[in-house]
Amino acid sequence: MQWFELLRHADGADRLSKEQFQTAIRAVSVDTSRFNMVEGVPHAIFDIMDTDGDNTISKAEFKKYLDVWGITDPGAMDTFHELDLDGDGEISRQEFIRAVREFFYSQDLEAPGSLFFGRLSG
C-alpha cells in the first residue's frame, strides 16, 4: 500500500529517482485522503521491532532491527537513547510514533526521528 501511494504521488511512475521519492514521501506524509503513511506505517514498523509483543522496544530488539538492515556502525545504538525520551531503557510506542512525526514534520535535523529515519534534505 505504501508503494502504491508513493507512485500515486509521483505521477504513476513505476520507478522513482531519489528526487521523485523525496517529493512523493513528502506528499504522502500530508495527504490524508487515503492511506496516511505517517500514522499507519510507523505502527507496523513498531510491531515488527517489538518481537516479544510487550508494546516496547528493548535495546536487544533495537539491535536486532539494526542487524536486519545491516547497520553495523557502533554509533547507531546511540539513537536508541535518543528515541527513549523518558530514559527508562525502552522505547514505548508513543515515543516511537512521536519520532516518526518529528521526522516528517519537524524542521529540527537533530530531532530523534531524523536521527533514526535519516534526514530529508531540502
When pLDDT is averaged across residues 87-112 and rounded to a whole number, the result is 82
CA distances from 53 to 41, 42, 61, 77, 100 (A): 17, 15, 11, 21, 20
pLDDT digits (tens, 9 = 90+) for 2-17: 666 666 667 656 777 8
Name the residue among 69, 27, 21, 29 with its Cα closest to residue 45.
Answer: 69
56 has a pLDDT exceeding 90: yes
Between 13 and 60, residue with greater pLDDT: 60
Residue linked to cell 512525526: 101
28 has a pLDDT exceeding 50: yes
| pLDDT score of 90 | 97
Mean predicted lDDT score pLDDT of the chain = 78
As a whole-number percent, the residues of the chain with pLDDT over 90 amount to: 25
> DSSP letters of 20-77?
HHHHHHHHHHH--SS--HHHHHHHHHHHHH-TT-SSEE-HHHHHHHHHHTT---GGGG
Name the residue among 103, 112, 87 with its Cα closest to residue 28.
Answer: 103
| pLDDT score of 26 | 72
Name the residue among 96, 111, 107, 1 with its Cα closest to residue 50.
Answer: 96
| pLDDT score of 17 | 80
Between 22 and 63, residue with greater pLDDT: 63
Cell of 66: 539494526
Sign of CA dihedral 5, 7, 9, 12: negative
pLDDT digits (tens, 9 = 90+) for 71-97: 888 888 888 988 899 999 999 999 998
